[in-house]
Structures are given as structure tokens and as C-alpha cells.
Amino acid sequence: MKDDNPGSPIGIVLLNMGGPDALEAVEPFLYNLFSDRDLIQLPLGALLQKPFARLISRRRAKMVVENYRAIGGKSPLLRWTSVQAQGIAARLGSAFRPYVAMRYWAPRADEAVARMKADGVERAVVLSMYPHYTGATTGSSVKDFRRAAVTLHPNLKYRVIEQWYDWPGYLDALALCVREGLESFPEELRPLVQILFSAHALPQKFIDRGDPYLEHVLDTTRGVMKRVGNRSWRLGFQSRSGPVKWMEPDTVEVIDQLAAEGRQAVLLVPISFVSDHIETLHEIDIEYRAHARAKGIAHFARSPSLNDRPEFLTAMADLVRQEVENWR
């Protein structure tokens, strides 16, 4: 695409899932999530998707509210994504302006696009904050952004970065997190630590239809381990729910296997998440840690999330910079 206006500001739009900003927002957030047929195709077709979504979100909200209450009463995802957007833009220079578009809670794509139009932004790089591509996450968010752009800012020119699972700077930053996690163990235990990568699960039908998500996750784990060194590692998939066939193995099942093997030290590395949110702060830090200890694993830790680590923000800025240079 030719850059017809090289002097105008360039928007940096980060796409992410979003999360409730208060306990009262949990149920409507879940409703938005379950209403998205790109993510979850409830039975009996599109016509009944929203009634089913209403029912399921109402039933699940009570439990999920307590999970959010345990981590401070809201999701930190917007805060971290906003910090990441600002950090990336700052590294690129004053011509770049940061925006955030969440899929299932505010600020939504409509708001981000409207803000860019009001700010006089005619060009943008749209960056999915899911490193590994699947139509259920990146695909849905990009589709939503495109809809908003056509409706609210049809003159906006933009390029989309949909995947970056093998971007060297990302792998370098994630490897640093793994090394930091290993250093949290007593020195005498470090050679014995079992690394367990945990990615967000997808229904198996997404993989069967050709989504490259599993291949991307595996490429990332291999790239990280090349940097970390010759150590034992496993891969599991977390956050499975509902009566469908999911990707295997479940992270909990891998923890059980490690316990049965007599492993006493496990480092869990969240690999499909680039910032802390409910799956790291509650599912891993509270639920999985308690489960591992109950199974006899005495030393269980999680590697730190990428969040606002300088190495990660620099890597993402370099990725965006490459995209802008290719645009010209």
C-alpha cells in the first residue's frame, strides 16, 4: 500500500479481548463474549446465540465474579494493554499515537476508530496482541475493527499485523521471562525444574478446520527453548470449559502427570498471554498452584508476564516499525 500522506500522524491500535472493569461488568462482559459466533458457536444456530449467551452468562457470572474479586475486583487487561500501546508508540516517535480496541468490553473498536478520526489520524497499524493466529481471537477482533473502520472512518488506511509468534524480539523477551522464573527457585533445585508451557485452549474444531494456532504455539515454544537451553519442557492447554472437544492435553492433566513422575519443581510459562489477566492471576497463580501442591509438587512458580517489560515493548515497536517501512 502506498503511503500518500507521509506527514500525517500514524495510529498504533492494539487489539485485545478486554475484561470487566468492575464486578458489575462481569455478566455483561460474559454475554458479549458468548454472543460472538467467531469465538463460540452455541447450538441451534445464530438465531438462538444471544438467548443462549444470556442464559450462560447469567449462570456463570456468580462464580466468575468471585474469581475477579480475588484478584482485585476487575481485569487488569485494559491497563496493561494501554501501557503497552503507549510504550510502543513512545519508542516509535512523536508521529505515532496509541489506541486500544477491546473485543468484548470498553473501549471497543468503534470508540478507537472514532477517536482516531477526531484526532486527524488517517493511517494506522493495527496490531493483534494475540501472538498466535486463530479466527476465534485475532480473526474476530480484526473483523470487528474492519467493520468499525468502514462505518465510522472509511478514509482510514491501515495495515494489520495478525501474527508474530516467531518474531525474534518476542522470543527473546519471553526467554528472559523464563530465565527469571527459573531463578526464583532455590539454586540447588534449578537444574531439576520442569518447564510447563501453558497456552489458552481452543475447541478442537478450530484446529481441524485449518487454524494454524497449534503450529504457532509449538514454534514459539521451540524458539524460546533454543534461547533458554537444553531443558525438559511440556505443553498444556488451559481455560477449557463447556461440553465440546478441546485441544489436548489439559494443563491440569500435565501437572498430574508431572506429580506422578515425582517432579518436585515446576515452572509454568503462560505462552499465549502477553499480559496479566484472570487466566494468569487466578487460574494459574491460585487454582493451579493449589492443585500442584495438593498433588505433591512442593515448588510451583509462574514465570513473570511480559506486561511492560522494556524488551517486549521494544520488540513490538520494531515489529510495527518494519510494517511502516514496508508500507512506504
Catalytic positions, written as ranges: 17, 33, 39, 103-104, 200, 276, 279, 283
CB of 74 within 8 A of CB of 20?
Answer: yes
**Grid coordinates in use for 172?**
527473546
DSSP3 helix / strand / coil % (the chain, rounded to 5): 50, 15, 35
Rounded CA separation 113/119 (Å):
10
Under the phi-then-psi rule, with left for phi > 0, alpha for psi from -120 to 50, and beta for the rest, what region is 251? alpha
* Three-state DSSP class for residue 108: strand
Give every CB contact of residue 319 below 8 A, 6+ residues apart in sequence.
Answer: 127, 161, 164, 167, 169, 170
Rounded CA separation 55/243 (Å):
16
Q: What are phi and psi of 192, to 5 degrees?
A: -100, -5
Give every CB contact of residue 63 below 8 A, 6+ residues apart in sequence.
Answer: none
Position 299, amino acid: H
Cis peptide bond N-terminal to 243, omega within 30: no
Give every CB contact of residue 76 below 8 A, 6+ residues apart in sequence.
Answer: 19, 275, 276, 277, 281
The edge-to-edge listing of strands for the beta sheet with 123-128 is 96-102, 10-16, 123-128, 157-161
Rounded CA separation 254/106 (Å):
35
